[in-house]
Structure 1
Amino acid sequence: MVKWSISILLIMLLNLAVTSLGNVPNFDYHAFYFIHQWLPSYCNQKGTKCCYPPTGRPAADFTIYGLWPYNDGGNSLQNCPGSSYDVAPLKAIQNMLQKDWPSLTCPQIGRKFWLHEWNKHGTCSKSVLDELAYFHAASNMKNKLNIFEALSKARIIPNNQFYQVENIKAAITQATGYRPFIFCNHDAEGNSQIWQVIFCVDKSGTKLVNCSGSPQGQCAYSTVKFPSY
C-alpha cells in the first residue's frame, strides 16, 4: 500500500514537472521589428511634455524608437530573463546613440530610454546580440535606411501638410526595396499624423527582410499630417 502511494506520488510530481516545462515561455525570436519615430509627432500629442536633452535639440530626422524581437507568430517578445542594462559598454557609443536614438520624454532622456528598451526588448535577443551589438545594429540600420531623405526626394516634407499614406509607403519602398508599416497618432487638435515607420530586420539585426506577420496598430487613415520640426 505504501509502495503504491509512493509510486502514485512520483507519477503526479512527474506530470507536474512536464506541465510546468510546457508553460515556460519560449523566448526564441524569429526577427526584429525595427521602429523609427518622428519626434514632433510624439511631442505634440495632447498632454505630452517633451524636453531637449543636454546635448540640445536633435537634428530633423526620423530617429530610433526600438528594435523589438518577435516570434514566428509576429508577436513582439518582452521582459526576457537575464542580463539587465549595463551603462559601461555604451559609453564608447553614447554620442552616436544621442544622435540616432534620442528621447525627448521628460524626464526619461537618453540613458533612461536606452535602459528601458534593453531591459524590455533587447534582453530577448541576447542569444544572438549582446547589449553593445544590439545598439550598434539599430544605429547602423537607421543610417542605412535614411527615411527622411527618401521622403524628401519624393517631396514629402515636414511642413504641417497632409500626405497620402500610400504615397509615403511608395516613396520609402522605392528607396529601400522594402515596404514599411506606417503607424500614426493624433496631435493636440485631433489631426492624424505620421508617427512611426516600421521595417522587419533579420535575426542578426543587419538585413532587411519581408515580414512574416504584421504588427498591431497600423495607421487606418488614408492621409496623415507631417508635422514640422
Structure 2
Amino acid sequence: MHLAALLSIASFASIQAFDFYVLSQTFQPYFCTTGNFAGCNNPTDFMKTNLTIHGLWPNNNDGSYPSFCSDETLSQSTIDQVGMDVINTYWPDVKTNYGTTFISNEWSKHGTCSDMAQLDYVNAAISLETQLGTPDIISSNVGSSAVGSQIRAGYGGANMVALVCGSNGALSEVRTCYENTGSGPGNRITCPQTILNEDSCAKKAGKKITIYSFNDN
C-alpha cells in the first residue's frame, strides 16, 4: 500500500477515535437573556419549560475532543428528512429566528467527528433529547428556583450530570454522557471527571438554582 494511503487511514482512525459522547442541552429562557435574539420573541411552547439540544459532542476522558473532522456540510436533504418542525422544537436556532445555522454549525464542528452519517447524527441527538426529557423538578419550577441536589437527583445523581449556570447562578445548560458504541451513542454512563468539573451550579446542601422563565427576559 502506498504511503499516502497509509497516512490517510491513520489520519482517519485518529480523527474518529474518542471515548464517549456528551449530550449538551440549553435552557433557552436563560440563553435569551444573554443577547437580543429574534427567536426569543416567539419561543415555542416546548422551550418554555424544556431543555433543548445544544449539541451531541464526541469527547475523550482526558478532556480533549475532536472537532471539524471534515468539510462536509449539513445537507438540505437531511434537514428535509428530519423536518423543520422537529428541528425547531428540539434543536431551535433562536439567534437566526429558527433557521438552520445553529444545527449546521454543530454538525460541522462535532457531527463530522461522530462516526455517524449526518442524518444518523441528527436523529441520534433528537432521540437522546426525547429519551432523557426534562426532569419535573426543572419544568415545574420555571420562573422560580429549585435545590441543586434535587435537580441532580432528577438526572440520576451528581456523577451523572453537569449543571452549567450563568454568572448569576441561573441554569444555563445540562450535560449528560453516553457510551461510544463505535457507530453512535449507546447507554447513558457516569460522566468522567472532566465533564463533572464543568458543573458550575450551586453545590452546597440546600442551595437553590434559579430557573428562568421567558418573563425574566
Q: What band does the TM-score fall into relative to the shorter chain?
A: 0.7 to 0.9
Partner residue of 1:103?
93
Match of residue 93 from structure 1 = 82
Q: Tell me whether 1:185 sits opposite 2:166 in the alignment.
A: yes
Residue 44 of structure 1 aligns with which residue?
33
Report matched runs for 1:197-212 at 5 Å: 197-203=174-180, 204-212=184-192
- Which amino acid in the other structure matches residue 198 of structure 1? R
Following superposition, the deviation at residue 158 of structure 1 comes to 0.5
Alpha carbons of structure 1 residues 54 and 44: separation in structure 2 relative to 1, 3 Å: closer
- State the Cα distance separating 1:116 from its structure 2 match: 0.4
Q: Which amino acid aligns with 2:213?
A: S
Residues in 1 aligned to 2:179 and 2:166: alpha-carbon distance in whole angstroms: 27
Distance in 2 (CA, whole Å) between partners of 1:178 and 1:147 is 17
1:171 maps to 2:154: yes
Query: Can you list the C-alpha shifts for 1:177-229, whole angstroms capped at 9, x where unaligned?
Result: 9721100114xxxx310111110012222421222342253215343210123
TM-superposition CA deviations, 1:87-127 (whole Å, max 9, x none): 2122021221221111211x3743111110000110011xx
* TM-score, normalization by structure 2: 0.77
Question: Aligned AA for 2:57?
Answer: W
2 CA distance for matches of 1:31 and 1:122? 13
User: Quick one: percent identity of the two aligned structures?
Assistant: 19
Other-structure match for 1:10: none
In the alignment, what sits opposite 1:76? 65
Structure of greater Rg:
1
CA contact (8 A) 1:32 1:200 kept: yes
Matched with 2:113 is: 124
Counterpart in 2 of 1:136? Answer: 123
Q: 2:194 aligns with which of 214, 219, 222?
A: 214
C-alpha spacing 1:38/1:70, structure 2 compared with 1 (3 Å): same
Change (3 A) 1:89 1:184: same
Residue 114 of structure 1 corresponds to which residue in structure 2?
103
Cα distance in 2, alignment partners of residues 65 and 172 from structure 1: 18
* Aligned residue identity for 2:81: A
1:150 offset after TM fit, Å? 5.5
CA contact (8 A) 2:165 2:173 kept: yes
Contact 1:74 1:214 in 2 (8 A): yes
Cα pair distance change 1:171/1:89, threshold 3 Å: closer
Alpha-carbon separation, structure 2, partners of 1:150 and 1:142: 17
Determine if contact 1:37/1:62 at 8 Å carries over to the other structure.
Answer: yes
* Mapped partners of 2:72, 2:163: distance in 1: 32
**Structure 1 residues 113 and 130, CA, compared in 2 at 3 Å: closer, same or farther?**
same
Question: TM-score, normalising length from structure 1?
Answer: 0.74
**Matches of 2:31 and 2:61 in 1, distance apart?**
30
For the 8 Å contact 1:178–1:208, the answer to whether it is kept is: no
